Amino acid sequence: MRALAVVPTYNEAENIEPLVERILAQGPDVEVLIVDDGSPDGTGEMADRLAAQSDRVHVLHRNGPRGRGVAGRDGFLWAVQREGIDCVIEMDGDLSHDPDYIPQMLDALEDADIVIGSRYIPSGGSVKRKWYRVLISELAAIYTRMVLGMWRIKDPNSGYRCFRCQVLAAIDLESLQSVGPSIVSEVLARCRGYRIKEIPIVFVDRVGGRSKLHFGTLLTTLALVLRWRWRELWRR
């Protein structure tokens, strides 16, 4: 199975090289697309250098308004338009998502359409995270499961996931509205009806670089989840 890891980056200069190296080490059928929003710290230029060294590394430089959501969407669009990609792995560029889980994700995709790397099933978890961040994340997961009516999925806000390309091609990526990290739950909400499986992952809090997630962004995300669900029910 040919897999493409889509990694949105903004100021990940400290992380990008080891991350790409570790993704490529997962096997010859694994490629990586870095979607950079003109990072002032030079992440985009580093990505270009890595792409010059390996034909399994690709870079998409975005112009215009930046955001984790729009960058992720453009990465997915790039993947579905490219010939020969069977599945897309979505992951962060800060090494919080360990590339060593990729083979397990691809195995799990044999009898699923989407595989979620889950912190909230047995053997999953978070390390080096401050207790209040873990608590907020757990509460946000319960909220999202409840509002979306996807109670079976324990970690709906995990940004470490793998999709069969057909799924991404079918969910009308162009019409996604999220600019920021709410893209994760917006995409999931559109995947109702597909075979979704979770595998345990241990999330490691970022060591290098700085978080771009603010409390306000989190609140906006929770409000958006409610809005999408409301619209979905209204249309029925």
Ligand X SMILES: Nc1nc2c(ncn2[C@@H]2O[C@H](COP(=O)(O)OP(=O)(O)OP(=O)(O)O)[C@@H](O)[C@H]2O)c(=O)[nH]1
154 binds, among Mg ion, ligand X, none (CB under 5 to 8 A by kind): none
- Residue 144 burial (C-beta neighbours within 10 Å; 0-12, 13-18, 19+): buried
| Site for ligand X contains 96 (CB under 6 A) | yes
Q: Which residues in 16-35 contact ligand X (CB under 6 A)?
A: 35
Q: What is the largest CA-CA distance in the chain?
A: 50
CB of 20 closer than 8 Å to CB of 94: no
Nearer to Mg ion by Cβ, of 94 and 186: the residue is 94
- Residue 53 CB coordination number (10 Å): 10
Of 5-13, 68-76, 88-96, 149-157, the segment contacting Mg ion by CB under 5 A is: 88-96
| Site for ligand X contains 36 (CB under 6 A) | yes
14 binds, among Mg ion, ligand X, none (CB under 5 to 8 A by kind): none
| Site for ligand X contains 181 (CB under 6 A) | yes
| Site for ligand X contains 92 (CB under 6 A) | yes
Residue listed under structure tokens 């909220």: 143
Q: Which residues in 120-159 contact ligand X (CB under 6 A)?
A: none
| Site for ligand X contains 223 (CB under 6 A) | no
User: Strands 114-118, 161-164: parallel, antiparallel or unpaired by DSSP?
Assistant: antiparallel
Nearer to Mg ion by Cβ, of 96 and 185: the residue is 96
Half-sphere CA count of 39, side-chain side, radius 13 A:
28
